[in-house]
Amino acid sequence: MKGNEAIAHAAIRCGCDGYFGYPITPQSEVLETLAALKPWETTGMVVVQAESEVASINMLYGGGGTGKRVMTSSSSPGVALMQEGIAYMAGAEVPGLIVNVQRGGPGLGTIQPSQSDYNQATRGGGNGDYNVIVLAPNSVQEMADFVDLGFELAFKYRTPAMILSDGVIGQMMERVVLPPQKPRRTDEEILKECPWASNGMGLKQRGSHCITSLELDPAIMEQRNLHLQKKYAEIKQKEVRYETSFMDDAEYAIVAFGSASRIATKAVEMLREKGERVGLFRPITLWPFPEKEIEELATRVKGLLVVEINAGQMVYDVRLAAKGKAIVNHFGRLGGIVPDPDEIVDALMKVKSEAEKA
């Protein structure tokens, strides 16, 4: 099935309580599949086609505030519209899952695949000092697997989580094993997992809860920010995920995430056939970013090539992490054009010739 369809199936199966979304290419199959599967008749999951992306994200804020597992999905221009709501959720510590099946920008851009929302996703995207947890699937299988993982992390840390995918992974079909059906949590379970939630449960014992990102006293607001920063530091320490391949004897490495990592793997296979010792490093969490691992990698190889379907965004994180210990070049295509493996092979050979000159 398609990556977008896998997201919808996985949402139902992981016990999601509600989906709010507005159609946009290339992710419309998420809402279409949910509408076809009618989970409100089986698990009781609510599916709403909202009037806009702004409405969707605020429904997510409301649903998450009650401790429910709620999600939305969109593509780049739609996710841009959601940024205010995501910042509110981060500020008010409301968990929720946002799926971005990216397309080319800026603005309305194109409908073809892109990874040009990397900066927006990994820097928070809205106003204020915050981050969201960003997972980057590179297969239809991971589209399915990361829905439950996204919810787990979002609730563990009371923060929004994002699946940053793109038109390649959303539209392609491949083999997928769907997770078994989990029941939706009962009210008692929600009460236990989310004692902070504002859902009218246990009102007499605990008094009322107020969920807001607003605080007019800057001294209290600073404390609240410090609390967020402490939480983010813990996430950075505990939740970094990455994958490597062909790295054992590698002299050069390609760093790529999501769909670009699939194409880069093919380039690595082609380079290996030519006798080049090239490996692949794939960040799975884009925030938290695998900084230490990239630094260690930079001490082992002569050069790194960062392949992204954008003008060069993750390359800055790689350069910061590499601390000048290896050459770090970038290769990308823009505006909805996806690089092919040949182009990546050529770009890697350029890194090699630069490293040899230096």
Partner 1 sequence: MKHEIIISGFGGQGVLSMGKILAYAGLMEGKEVTWMPAYGPEQRGGTANVTVIVSDKPISSPILSSYDTAIVLNQPSLEKFQGKVKPGGDIIFDSFGIAEQPTRSDINTWCINAMETAAELKLMKCFNMFVLGGLLKLHPIVTIENVMKALRKSLPERHWDLLPMNEQAILKGMEIIKKV
Chain positions contacting partner 1, by CB under 8 A? 25-26, 111-112, 167-168, 171-175, 259, 262-269, 338, 340-343
Nearest residue (CB) to partner 1, 167 versus 283? 167
Nearest residue (CB) to partner 1, 112 versus 329? 112
CA distance 190 to 84: 26
| In contact, 37 and 28? CB cutoff 8 Å | no
User: Nearest approach, Cβ of 320 to partner 1 (angstroms)?
Assistant: 28
Cα–Cα–Cα angle for 278, 119, 127, rounded to 5 degrees: 160
Helix (H) or strand (E) holding 64, with range, is helix 53-65
Please enumerate in sequence order all residues whose Cβ is within 8 A of that of 201, keeping only pairs 6 or more positions apart, or say none. 187, 190, 191
User: Nearest approach, Cβ of 110 to partner 1 (angstroms)?
Assistant: 9
CA distance 331 to 344: 7
Please enumerate in sequence order all residues whose Cβ is within 8 A of that of 37, keeping only pairs 6 or more positions apart, or say none. 8, 9, 12
User: Nearest approach, Cβ of 47 to partner 1 (angstroms)?
Assistant: 22
Nearest residue (CB) to partner 1, 17 versus 166? 166
DSSP secondary-structure letter at 111? S
Nearest residue (CB) to partner 1, 246 versus 289? 246
DSSP secondary-structure letter at 103? B
> How many residues does this entry show for the chain?
358
User: Nearest approach, Cβ of 168 to partner 1 (angstroms)?
Assistant: 7
DSSP secondary-structure letter at 221? H
User: Nearest approach, Cβ of 247 to partner 1 (angstroms)?
Assistant: 15
User: Nearest approach, Cβ of 101 to partner 1 (angstroms)?
Assistant: 12
Nearest residue (CB) to partner 1, 188 versus 273? 273
Nearest residue (CB) to partner 1, 58 versus 112? 112
Please measure the distance between the N-terminal and C-terminal CA atoms of the chain and give it in whole angstroms. Answer: 47
| In contact, 92 and 62? CB cutoff 8 Å | no
Query: Which SS3 state, helix, strand or coil, does residue 80 take?
Result: helix
Nearest residue (CB) to partner 1, 66 versus 112? 112
User: Nearest approach, Cβ of 112 to partner 1 (angstroms)?
Assistant: 7
Token readout for 358 is 């230096």
Query: Which SS3 state, helix, strand or coil, does residue 142 take?
Result: helix
